[in-house]
Structure formats: structure tokens, C-alpha cells
Structure 1
């Protein structure tokens, strides 16, 4: 049943970084629980062949992914958000998140900002920058405020 009564989807990219956790918490605090939004958590898991020697065997990658998803689900439960779908997809996070936007017909994609400088961003590639230019929905980049000393 399509129409205005259907919930709009918010996709959030999650990983094991504090920036990702902050973005999820910020979104939960500002948009949920909500009768108009459904939450989809997406974790991009590197392929085992791309991380040989870095993260160990495939089972380690699966454990990390399970921990990331479990932690994110717990944050949702703590905020009384129960309309949540979570998935782990193997591949580059830039493509995985843009594909999830298409798959779920998302209204909003939320990603955390790692705050890389220009050189690191050029070498590693910015997931948030890529998504801002390629995702077919509104993209919200959540930056963790810097603590002033």
C-alpha cells in the first residue's frame, strides 16, 4: 500500500567508529521514536580477500560485523525505537550505502563524519562525500562536535 501512510525510510551507515555511534545516537535523539520514519541500519563489511593480513580471517570480519550491529540495535532499544531493520553487506561502504538507499527507497541517508584532513580524504576516499554526490536522497552528515579546551 503506497501513499502518505507509508513510513519514510532513514538509512544509517554504521561501523565500529565513535563517529558512527555519535551519528546514530544523534539521529535517534532528533528523529525517533517517530510514527513517520522506519530505520534501516547498514554495515559494510570488507571482503575477506581485501583484508588478508589486516583483520584476519573471514570469521573475524563476521564477528566485528555482528558486534557493530548488536551495539547499534541496543542503542535503538535504549531509545525505544523498535521499527528497525539491520543488515550487513560485503563491499565498499560508498557503494553499499548508495545501494541501500535504492533498495529501501530511502528518504534520508545518515552518515558520520570521520573528520579526515584533505590528504587522508584523498587517499582513503570520503564515504560521506561520495554519498553526498551519488545517493538519490537527502544525505545528512553528522559531525561530532570538537571539544574546546
Structure 2
């Protein structure tokens, strides 16, 4: 069963009409923070006083057993250490996302940490909030890596019941 931690920071201005929802998926990768930053720059900063979307930032925290990947003797000693590490990573990811939002003067956001596979967590968050758009970063995996590791953005593009924006970080010019 997945567990969800939701935190909302409220702006002093209350809105009377429901805005469409934008969900942004984040993990500990640089590209996910780039995607969040890109979405804020293109959809929120130009409309600082009245952004067109309600923002939900979600981090999928893996199950400790999926990180360990083994079972047997000794697992009970390792599990608490892995769990604590996953919690620390989630806290760092959430704090960095909040900092990015604060730096763009965006304070009215919902931040969720949901335990589970990122693909399912993102699609379920879209459903839960009736989101109009999902923004995810692209790691730029090649065909082989994508086949082995699976692509969260590809899965979401095919399964999320909303528009999916896949943000790619431009390659640096040499």
C-alpha cells in the first residue's frame, strides 16, 4: 500500500475559482529540477500575480524492499538503514523543489511524497488531482537503457489521462 505525505503552502491571496492543475514529477536528478524550473519559468513566473495553474509537485519514494532487491537472512538489519536513507533523499528532494519555487516567488503549491513506483505514482497523482498537464524531465536514455530501465516519461506519455510535457535539458555546446 502506498503512503502519501501532502504539504501545502498557502499564498495570502485566496482564489474563488478552481484553476486547472499542473503536476510536476521530481526525483533526485538534475533533469527533474530542470523540468520544474522550466515549467515555473514558462507557466508561472510570467503570470506571478495570477498563475494559470494550481501547482502540485510530487516525488515518488521507492519502497525500501525495491531498493534492496534481495531477500533472506540479514534483510531485517539492512531495511531500517535503507528506509532512513530513502527518507533523507525524499526530504532533500522536497526541500530543493520548495527552494526553486520560493526563488521564483511561488508559494501556493502542494508538495506530495508518495511511496511507490514513479510511473504509477505520477499517473495516480494526475487522477487524484484531475490534472490538466503532467510535466516530467527526460533523462535522455538510449533505446537499450530505456528498454532495460524503463522510461518513466514514456510510460506517463502513454498512460496518464492528461497532456504530458516531457522537458529535455539542452545539450551544452562545446
When normalised by structure 1's length, the TM-score is 0.93
Distance in 2, matches of 1:131 and 1:145, equals: 21
Matched, 1:92 2:117: yes
CA-to-aligned-CA distance 1:87-139 (integer Å, 9 cap, x gap): 11111100000000000000100000000000000001000000000000000
How much is the aligned-residue C-alpha RMSD, in angstroms? 1.7
Deviation at 1:53, TM superposition (A): 7.2
The answer (yes or no) to whether the contact 1:6–1:36 under 8 Å persists in 2 is: no
Deviation at 1:36, TM superposition (A): 2.4
What residue is the counterpart of 2:60 in the other structure?
A: 44
Runs (5+) with no aligned partner, structure 2: 1-15, 71-78
Q: Which has the larger radius of gyration?
A: 2
The answer (yes or no) to whether the contact 2:24–2:56 under 8 Å persists in 1 is: yes
Matched, 1:16 2:28: yes
Matched, 1:70 2:95: yes
Number of residues paired by the alignment? 146
Q: Which runs of 4+ in 1 moved over 6 A?
A: none
What residue is the counterpart of 1:114 in the other structure?
A: 139
1:57 match: secondary structure:
helix
The answer (yes or no) to whether the contact 1:11–1:39 under 8 Å persists in 2 is: yes
49-58 vs 86-95, which deviates more?
49-58
From 25, 29, 37, the counterpart of 2:37: 25
